[in-house]
Structure formats: structure tokens, C-alpha cells
Amino acid sequence: MDGDTKTMTFLQELQDEPATLDDILISCRATLKYAIKTAHPRYFNQLSTGLDMVGLAADWLTSTANTNMFTYEVAPVFVLLEYVSLKKMREIIGWQDGRGDGIFSPGGAISNMYAMLLARFKMFPEVKEKGMSSVPRLVAFTSEHSHFSIKKGAAALGIGTESVICIKVDESGKMIPADLERRIVEAKQKGFVPFFVSATAGTTVYGAFDPLIAISDVCKKYNVWMHVDGAWGGSLLMSRRHRWKLDGVDRANSVTWNPHKMMSVPLQCSALLVREEGLMQNCNQMHACYLFQQDKHYDLSYDTGDKALQCGRHVDIFKLWLMWRAKGTIGFEAQIDKCLELSEYLYNKIKDREGYEMVFDGKPQHTNVCFWYLPPGIRYMEDKEERKKHLHKVAPVIKARMMEYGTTMVSYQPQGDKVNFFRMVISNPAATFEDIDFLIEEIERLGQDL
Amino acid sequence: MDGDTKTMTFLQELQDEPATLDDILISCRATLKYAIKTAHPRYFNQLSTGLDMVGLAADWLTSTANTNMFTYEVAPVFVLLEYVSLKKMREIIGWQDGRGDGIFSPGGAISNMYAMLLARFKMFPEVKEKGMSSVPRLVAFTSEHSHFSIKKGAAALGIGTESVICIKVDESGKMIPADLERRIVEAKQKGFVPFFVSATAGTTVYGAFDPLIAISDVCKKYNVWMHVDGAWGGSLLMSRRHRWKLDGVDRANSVTWNPHKMMSVPLQCSALLVREEGLMQNCNQMHACYLFQQDKHYDLSYDTGDKALQCGRHVDIFKLWLMWRAKGTIGFEAQIDKCLELSEYLYNKIKDREGYEMVFDGKPQHTNVCFWYLPPGIRYMEDKEERKKHLHKVAPVIKARMMEYGTTMVSYQPQGDKVNFFRMVISNPAATFEDIDFLIEEIERLGQDL
């Protein structure tokens, strides 16, 4: 059998008997061969792209150490590195002396859910023992363009998706604070209790930054927990040129920030930062006596496991910490600035180019550039509805062709009443101006006959 | 500065400027030097120990591929390997033709929480939109010796820890089915709705297996979802000699099974297996149109991301799959059987040895061996209370000394009215009879003066 025929055995049942070492190596080669090349500078499909060599080395070391974050006893170094890194991140957010709390969790959706859990516990600590039947009807607020994890979290926590009120956004995708206030007042009039506002710093599709200062004023006025979902945009805090987009983030009660996105830390690396110290512990602790013995011979505050819903917790910190050491804050800043520069280059290149329409006006706030490509055949269609119907089918076909040729990958989606459009994002510092040029040429090559 | 002085710089603030490559290498060396050697055959501290070389290689390849499990589009190979592995695990559980559903999640606690979420949704699908206020008071049942994640899950899901009813166990730590039935009847009489029973296959401390057949009869009679938390004990299904301990597991609605424990797959690797197909998708899906486009050019059933609460999901499957290929089922069986043999050796060695008392009678069911070591000074104390008070302090001191000498590590805890005792567990196939002998000698060496 040659390599490719062997590959076909991939999906056979797992066997009772061991395979040979040769078979194992063939499996590894085939796995890499058929894997999507997420480190390729022309892979623009997700918010997490690229492959940092120091981050990779750190992940390999992490695998070798093969331990668990729940106690200091089994992960003394990693627990301390998590401590210093979270403190540094809180300083960058702007909380005094980096005070507060935090944890690395398995992804932004879980970080957001943890934030919602904390907000509920802060307002109604009895909910931990007595459940939702002991509290009034709670409502959460987030923008129409926010990430779906807010609704997933509300469904899981027994709050229900109908209690997540979607606040209107302006044309560029930013939450409208006046609509937030209106909906909070409305909810209170109905007897509901507003407990949680999730503002987004860097929305998934448009890359919009909600106006945090105005939102924090509303949250303060009505005494509602303010969360900032900066899974995608939080990393801009590392850039002196771009951090103004998150002005007001220091007023938040909690912040999600995923270094595995814009900072190119290998997957996964997501942090939840919390302003109030001790709350996470009180909210989640169950005092399991087989793990968190109270008569240990070291400072028990380093046993972080009871802060989370998870028991065992993967070591996600070393990748981030070692990359930070290797690059310094200025290294992260440089790569973030570069990605934003590339997206501005793309925007300038296509905004007036024939065959392109921007989904919304104005320069990109993050690296997201949202646009339609109109093949010549539909460019001058007069029937608006007919044109829309055709346009909706363009991006999926171009994307499918990109994947068949294996040249590049970029995401598309509809949003609201807008038919399928491309969403370009750049988070790989290995991308160049030439890669952006290539993308445009490739879209035109693959789409001109549609 | 020499290496050790440099190490002290570990906990300094992260810097703006990059460190040198030499500094980075020193950091890596120091991290490994001060790490706990979890692969050492005398590290018995946790349920996850050892380091499998094929598993490590697979984890390194996974890091290199640096992708995300949410869509087939970005992880085609890993999604398919997850599919075949979950199917194989369901076959081993005994579900017809391996039918059903499942997912790899970040640890057993999350897997258990996912099961509870599914059970609630199955009984009251409206809870997803309307929250807990739309449903009657739900109650869950699990044994006094079960893992604390069941209560954590109930707290998070808005059910509340007071609605988790702890069922009595017998002297060896197994749930008493008659007490389960009594408590279910009692709850129904109060107007509560029993919706979830979590039986444990391999409790954390005693290693006990709840009687699954009797429990399934009760669940069936009262129409309650039966979950089996086999995070620790599920792997015994791979052993023809030991799988009888899980007889009845095929009657469960869901099963947690962590290959990162008894199968020595590198951290993390935890599976939730679910008997009913489609339920996970219905329970958790939010149809995010930027990720799960419905007009893709491939079979959308391979986009597994909407089955979970997480959005991005780490690739945990390749380690398990490659190890399975390399060892075959019989390889896993051999290493599991060996660990159980070692624990029986330990039990036989200490059960009648002077200075030892077993916490409960009878041969270990799993590799857990629970015992007190009584230093000569307290061995013949007449005052029972005084003796107990002294004994409580013995294990923590011996453990602290073990860590100071760096010779071995083993866990201890109190349980109920039982003062601190050692809990030995063996999950590293590299451990030998000599390592067990060493542990006994070391406990006696470090504890004889207490």
C-alpha cells in the first residue's frame, strides 16, 4: 500500500492489536498532510491563526511536564507564572496595582460564562445553594452583534436565552448606550432584575468596539455588573496606538481576553480577569477535602482549583508567559500594530475598487474588513432583489473553490438583512502586504465567472 | 548570575523589552527543574500520572497543527478521528453498534456538568429559552462519596447545591440503591422533580463502583436520567478482567470517561458519551451564522462546535487516537491490569502489617488503597480520642517530608468522621513492585518519630 491508500485506513475502527511504528508514523504524516495549514500567512479563516515558535516550544514543554493547575503542590511553577501574568494583564487593563483576580479557562465562551456566574453570585449569593427559584427573574444585556456565547451561558446557567436582551447597534456595529438604558428601564418596569451587561471589545464579525465609557455610566447608574468581552479585541490593550479603542475598560467588573487570538499564543489561552478579589473563590468553591486539604505545609491561596467550575485545569499559561518573556510587551505591540496596518491596507485597496462594496463605512477598528465581491455578471443588475439573491451565493462558491485549490481561506457569513459577505481578519504576524494582494487577486480569479 | 539566581527572576514582573534567547532557555530549564515530576513512577499523588511517549508525540503534533475543533473546515482529520474514537468508546460501553453521541470536553467536571445540562433539557426543553423559572424544582441525586463537580455543576446551572441530594454509601463507599429510591420518593412527595442520578464508577477517594444495575432499575422506575461518572473508573471497561465492575453501564443515558486518568493519555482528555443522538445539538446550539454557515460545501453534521458550551475547543483527540493505534485495545488493557495488580500487591502487603490500618475492609476495587500509618508512638494509645487527634496530624507531616526530600508523593485526606488517611492510587504503567515497596519503607522512615 502506498501512503495515500494507507491514509484511507484512517477512518477504520480502532483495533485490538497494536499497529507497527511505521503505521504510526504514516498516520502522523497523513494527519499533518490533510490538516488545514493554520499557520500559513494566507489562512485568514479564524481569529486564531499563525504559529509562534517560542509559543510552540512552550506548549511542547507544557505537554512534557503533563500536570494540572488545580493545586500549587503539583504545578508550583505554573501557578506562580499564572499569578504574575494575570497581575500584569490587570495592570494593563488599568486596575490599581494590578489588584483583582482571574483565571485561565478553556476558551472565551467559558470565560464569558464564568463572568455571568460571578455577576449573579455577587448580587444573589444564595443562588449557589438555593438555585434560581430563590431569586427574581434576572435579565442580561448585550449587543445584537455580540458573541453567541452570552446566550449559551444564559441557557446553561438556567437564566434562559429569552432573558438576554439584545441591544441595538449603530451602522458600524457598536452598541447604542441609549438603547441599553431604555431596555434596562423597561426590564425594571416589568419587575425583572438587570444583573449583567456584556459589552464587546472587538465583535466577531465587524470587529466593533462598544463605547465602554458610556456603557459603564449606564451600568453604574443602575448598579449592574459590567463585563467586557474582549476575547478578540482585548489584545489591543498591548498597543499604545490602538488601546484607546478600549477606553473605559478599567471600569469593568470583569474582562475576557484571549491571548490565543490577536497575540498568536497557541490554542488555547483565554483569561478572565475580575476586579473583585475573592469573589471567584466564594462563588465556585466546594472545599473538596481530597484536593484542597487545609493542613498543607504551604500558602493555600496558591491552590487555585476551587475558583473554577473545572476540577483539573490544563496548563495554558506557559505559552503566554514564555512568549511575553521572549518578545516583551513591545514585541506583542509590534505584531498587533502590524496586523492592523495590513487590514487598513486591505480596506484602502478595495474601498473604491470596482466590484467591491463595503458592508459598512469607515476604517476598520480591528483587523476585520467586511465586504462583498460582485462578479461582473451581477455588478450592474437592476433588480435589487435579484441582485441580492445572486450575491448571497457568491461568497460560499468562492470559499469552496479556495479550499479546493488550497490557496487561501477566508470566512463569510450573512448578518441581519445583509446577504453573505466576506469577513477578512488578520492575526498572523507572518502575513504580508503581498498576501493581501494575493487574496484580492484570488477572489477575483475564482469569482469572475459567477 | 548562576542558574539558580536567575531562577529567582521568575517571579519578576513581565517586561516591556524582550529577553535574550539564553534567558529563555534558562527559564525553560528552571521550569522543568522545579516542576513536579508527574511521570516519575513514585508520583502517586493524582489520578493522572505517567507520560506515554506516543501520547506526548501526538500532543506535540497537535500543538503544531494549532487548530480548533469547532468546524470540520478547520480540523477535518481531528473531527473524523474524534468521530471514530467516540463511536469505539460507545461500543465498549455496550450501546448497540456504537450509536449515540458525545464530545471531548475540558475535564471530567465539565463533562459531568454537560450531562446534567442534557438531562434537564431532555425533561424540560423550554428551560433553554425560559430558564429555571419555567420549571418545577428539580433535584439531582449522587452518593456522599461522589465527586464535588456534581454540586459545582448544580450551582452553576441554577439548580442549587441544596437540590443535590447525597445518597448514603455502604462501608466500602458504594451507593446504597435502597436509599436512592427512598430519597427519590421523598422528593416526589415534597413536589420536587427528580431529574438526574449520577452514579460513580470509581470514586475519587475509595475507588468504589456504585452498583449500576440496581441504580438503573431505580432510574427506570422513576423515569430519571442516569449518568455514570466514570472519569476515574470508566477505563476499566477496557479490561476483560475488571469490566464487570461497571456492569449495567450500558443502561446509562450518559457516561463520563477520562482517558487522561487510567489510560495515561496526556492531560487533558475527557469524554462525555451520550446515548441519545441529536440531544447535545438541540440543547446547546445557537446557530452562530459566522461559524456554522448552512451553505457550506460539505456535510454539516461534521461541524461539532454547536454541541458544546464552548465555542473554540482544544484538540484533545489525537493523543488518545494515536496511543490507541500504537497499543491497541489490548495494550491499554495490559497497562490497566498491571496497575490494578500493583494496588492489590500494596493491599496484601499492608493489610496485616504492624502499624497499618485499612480505612475499609476488602480488596481494592480500583487502584485506590486507603490506609492509616500509625507511628510507634501512637500505636498503642489507649485514649481513642487522643489517638485520633494524633493520627490526624501524621499524614500531613509525612507528606510534607516526602515533598521536602523529593522522593515520592501520595495524597491524603479526611473523609466523614475518619481522620486524615493516605489514599494511594496507581495509574502509571511505569510503576513497579519495587516502587510500592519503596513507598512503604519511605512512609515508615519519615513517620516513625511522629
Asked if A446 and A405 count as a contact pair (C-beta separation under 8 A), the reply is yes
Band of residue A13 on the pLDDT scale cut at 50, 70, 90? confident
Neighbours of A102 (CB within 10 A): 27
The answer, yes or no, to whether residue A88 has pLDDT greater than 50, is: yes
Contact B310 A107 (CB under 8 A): yes
Q: What is the pLDDT of residue A261?
A: 97
Q: What are phi and psi of A84, to 5 degrees?
A: -70, -35
A234-to-A92, A201, A243, A263 alpha-carbon distances in Å: 10, 6, 9, 10
Round to whole Å and give the CA distance between A92 and A306: 26
Which distant-in-sequence residues (6+ apart) come within 8 Å of A228 by Cβ?
A198, A199, A200, A201, A212, A234, A246, A249, A252, A254, A255, A256
* Residue from A4, A10, A29, A36 to probe the interface with B (highest B Cβ count within 10 Å): A36
Confidence band of A1 (pLDDT split at 50, 70, 90): very low
Of B332, B336, B412, B407, residue with least CA distance to B369: B412
**Helix pair angle (B53-65, A53-65), 10° resolution:** 150
- A342 in any annotated domain: no
Write out chain B residues lying below 8 Å of A66, CB-based: 38-39, 48, 51, 56, 266-267
**CATH code assigned at A123:** 3.40.640.10
Q: B144: nearest CA in chain A? A: A288
* Residue in B4, B309, B322, B327 to test binding to A, most A beta-carbons within 10 Å: B309
- Which chain B residue has its CA at the smallest distance from A267's CA? B66
Report chain B (450 residues): mean pLDDT per 10 consecutive residues. Answer: 49 87 93 95 97 98 96 94 97 97 97 98 97 96 97 98 98 98 98 98 98 98 98 98 98 98 97 97 90 88 91 96 97 98 98 96 96 95 92 97 96 95 98 98 97
SS3 A104: strand
- Estimate to the nearest angstrom the gap between the alpha carbon of A363 and the chain centroid: 21
Partner-chain contact A312 B48, CB within 8 Å: yes
Contact with chain A for residue B107, Cβ under 8 A: yes
**Quick count: other Cβ atoms within 10 Å of Cβ B202?**
30
Asked if residue A228 lies in contact with residue A255, where contact means CB atoms within 8 angstroms, the answer is: yes
pLDDT at position B289 is 83
The band of A12, judged by pLDDT with boundaries at 50, 70 and 90, is low
Q: Which residues fall within 8 angstroms of residue A202, CB to CB, at 6 or more apart?
A: A208, A209, A230, A231, A232, A233, A234, A236, A365, A366
What does the block give as the cell for A292? 484542597
**Which residues of chain B make contact with A428, given a CB cutoff of 8 A?**
none
CA distance A165 to chain B (A): 12
Q: What is the mean pLDDT of chain B?
A: 95
List the single range of A7-16, A30-39, A200-209, A336-345 with lowest mean pLDDT.
Answer: A7-16
HSE-CB of A244 using CA atoms within 13 angstroms: 4
- Residue A345 and residue A356: Cα distance in Å, rounded? 15
CA–CA dist B79, B57 (Å, integer): 19
Give the CA distances from residue A63 to residues A60, A258, B53, B129, B267, in Å, rounded to whole numbers and listed in that order. Answer: 5, 20, 11, 40, 8
- What pLDDT is attached to residue A289? 83
Q: Is A325 on the interface with B (CB under 8 A)?
A: yes
- How high is the pLDDT of residue A2? 45
Phi/psi at A119 (nearest 5 deg)? -60, -45
- Residues A366 and A208: their CA atoms lie apart, in Å, by 7
How much of chain A, in percent, has pLDDT values that exceed 70?
97
Q: Do A77 and B268 touch (CB under 8 A)?
A: no
Tens of pLDDT, residues B244-285: 999 999 999 999 999 999 999 999 999 999 999 999 999 999
Instruction: Summarize pLDDT for A21-57 with one digit per residue, the tens.
Output: 999 999 999 999 999 999 999 999 999 999 999 999 9
The per-residue pLDDT for A370 is: 98
pLDDT score, position A354: 96
Q: Which of residues A5 and B223 earns the better pLDDT score?
A: B223
Q: Dig out the grid coordinates for A236 from the structure.
A: 489591543
The beta-carbon neighbor of A156 closest among B35, B117, B411 is B117
Q: Tell me whether residue B335 is in a domain.
A: no
Q: Is A158 part of a structural domain of the chain?
A: yes
Instruction: Write out chain B residues lying below 8 Å of A11, CB-based.
Output: 80, 84
Interface probe, candidates B33, B67, B264, B283, chain A, greatest A C-beta count within 10 A = B67
pLDDT in tens, A171-196: 999 999 999 999 999 999 999 999 99
A100 is a domain residue? yes
Element (H, E) at B280: helix B279-284
CA distance A200 to A252: 11
Q: pLDDT grade, residue A9 (50/70/90)?
A: low
Residue A25 lies in a domain: no
Cβ density class B17-53: b for 16+ within 10 Å, e for less = ebbeeeebebbbebbeeebbbbbbbbbbbbbbbbbbe
Find the DSSP H helices in A201-316. 212-222, 279-284
Chain A touched by B364 (CB under 8 Å): no
- The C-alpha cell at A253 is 467588573
User: With 0-12 CB in 10 A as exposed, 13-18 as middle and 19+ as buried, what is A358?
Assistant: middle
B432 touches chain A (CB under 8 A): no
DSSP letter for each residue of B320-361 = HHHHHHHHHHHHHHHHHHHHHHHHHHHHHHHTTSTTEEESSS
Q: Which of B43, B116, B229, B267 has the highest number of chain A CBs within 10 A, making it the mutation to test binding with A?
A: B267
Element (H, E) at B422: strand B418-424
The pLDDT, as a whole number, for residue B301 is 87
Q: What sign does the CA torsion over A323, A328, A329, A333 have?
A: negative
* DSSP class per residue in A334-380: HHHHHHHHHHHHHHHHHTTSTTEEESSSS--SSS-EEEEE--HHHHT
Q: B268 contacts in A (CB within 8 Å)?
A: 312, 314
Binning pLDDT at 50, 70 and 90, where does residue A430 land? very high
Contact B10 A77 (CB under 8 A): yes
Question: For A84-113, what is the mean pLDDT?
Answer: 97
The pLDDT of residue A301: 87
Cell of B261: 486518568
pLDDT digits (tens, 9 = 90+) for A321-380: 999 999 999 999 999 999 999 999 999 999 999 999 999 999 999 999 999 999 999 999
Domain total in chain A: 1
Q: In what order do the strands lie in the sheet with B418-424?
A: B43-44, B409-415, B418-424, B369-373, B356-358
Q: Which of A79, A137, A267, A421 is the best mutation test for B, with the most CBs of B within 10 A?
A: A267
Q: Do B312 and A65 touch (CB under 8 A)?
A: no
Place of cell 477535518: B76
Is residue B110 less than 8 Å (CB to CB) from chain A? yes
Among A132-136, A236-240, B297-301, which stretch is predicted with the lowest mean pLDDT? B297-301
Is A24–B322 a contact, with Cβ atoms under 8 angstroms apart? yes
Residue A202 has pLDDT above 50, yes or no: yes
Contact residues on chain B for A18, CB-CB shorter than 8 A = 325-328, 330-331
The answer to whether residue B407 is domain-embedded is no
Distance from the B359 Cα atom to the nearest Cα atom in chain A, whole angstroms: 15
Report if residue A426 sits inside a domain: no
Domain carrying residue B228: 67-318
Identify which of A108, A329, A413 has the shortest CB distance to residue B311: A108
B-chain CB neighbours of A416 within 8 Å are: none
